[in-house]
Structure 1
């Protein structure tokens, strides 16, 4: 397996004025195209867990376990997710927490080798230097990462990503879904002070969404009729490494 590479045509200096003005950016063609395709294929094989809040408590349930959970328990879970979505902060999507494993020294290779390579790229001098030049900020020192999958009905409600002690500078989404249509949902929405959508980004293939923290945003619910997966690698660019 060869290392993943940034697209050689990237020019952070050209995009820097836009980022400075708006504090967010949708940037096409982050990776060399063959690398983006490899990574997209790897995401299809990820060992997914469903992540959600139930009555204020977070859960990561392996999809294989959820599939054999008794029906009455699943009904309770679905009801709790819906309650949270109606009344406050809630999320419901699938995850594989890449950086949690790697930070714990649990590099696995095999089916997740490409996802681990994405973490390596995000923490390489090439990517961190790209971010510094794009943002004009010398502080970025580390990127955490998780693989994410949104399927029909899944969503993420409004939040601003600020969390004490995490040293989050910027959030990012590396989109890896080919052929997504905007009417399918799964849009990254930025909220203004009046409760309107200030801007929305569709999850176009091989694009990077990057924005300053804090900033109110959400991911709109994927439509019930959609039979494709919204795939991405997401996380935060931080000013210090964990530990």
Structure 2
């Protein structure tokens, strides 16, 4: 049986929301899809996702399968964790589980996961046209996507999402965790020029966060007492795919 097509809630009128977005450069949009569709996508991300551990090693993003991580001797794993902590203390670092949906789909490795259908929806005329009307920017032609899972101790340090050659216009977070408590962390935080938190979004279930790139932001650490994992599908809405290497330069993504 084919899953029903994703349809954005008609109450989220992009023309009505556009002036707010253009003024604030970000929006938190609740109740994006029909509840049963959001619950189905959540269950698939929770139960069927082939997670990999993601972190930054030097200037290179790493995504390790569980068996690869388990094969590292304990002393080397502990040293790696110390290095990640040291990097995070004074610079950019992240640690969470992910699955690069768009990379897998574009490499011809579909596995029948509902997140693949969501990726197709993101790249449909219906969604891209909705983005054009919401943002007032008609350059959006492509969206990438990854499933993300933040458990206790996971985080994403402050950054702007700006990356030469990636053609990023906007970032999005499709939140898929029911009954999340703000005390459990995992908040999408926007940082003002003085280093203060200007605004924060709790990862409310079936809510879409969308914001303009570049913009300083972070995801706060999930504490040990959190009652679950923060699940989402995230990515960037772009004016094109990656530029060729000679045009993109050497700046790390």
Q: How many residues align?
A: 240
Corresponding residue for 1:43? 45
In the alignment, is the contact (CA less than 8 A) between 2:176 and 2:204 conserved in 1?
yes
Please, which moves more after superposition, 98-107 or 147-156?
98-107
- Corresponding residue for 2:7? 5
Taking structure 2 as the reference length, the TM-score comes to: 0.91
Deviations 1:19-66 (A, max 9, x none): 011100001111222111111001112000000123444321112432
Structure 2 counterpart of 1:70? 73
| CA offset digits 1:79-107 (Å, max 9, x no partner) | 11101111210010100000011122222
Distance 1:18 1:5 in 2: 22
Q: CA deviation at 1:7?
A: 2.4
Query: What is the DSSP-based 3-state SS (H/G/I as helix, E as strand, rest coil) of the residue aligned with 1:164?
Result: coil
* RMSD value, Cα: 1.4
SS in 2 for 1:19: helix
Provide the C-alpha distance between the structure 1 equivalents of 2:58 and 2:76, rounded to a whole number of angstroms.
14
Distance 1:96 1:10, change over 3 A: same
**Cα deviation, residue 74, structure 1:** 1.8
- Residue pairs, 1:160-239, within 5 angstroms: 160-239=160-239
Match of 1:23 among 13, 22, 25: 25
The farther-off stretch of 69-78 and 194-203 is: 69-78
Q: Distance in 1 between matches of 2:199 and 2:178?
A: 22
TM-score by length of 1: 0.94
Larger deviation: 123-132 or 47-56?
A: 47-56
Q: What secondary structure is seen at the aligned counterpart in 1 of 2:198?
A: strand
Gaps of 5+ in 1: none
- Residue in 2 aligned with 1:135? 135
- Asked whether 1:84 is paired with 2:92, we answer no
Q: C-alpha separation between the residues in 2 aligned to 1:31 and 1:150?
A: 23
What is aligned with 2:122? 122
Asked if structure 1 preserves the Cα contact closer than 8 Å seen for 2:166 and 2:241, the reply is no
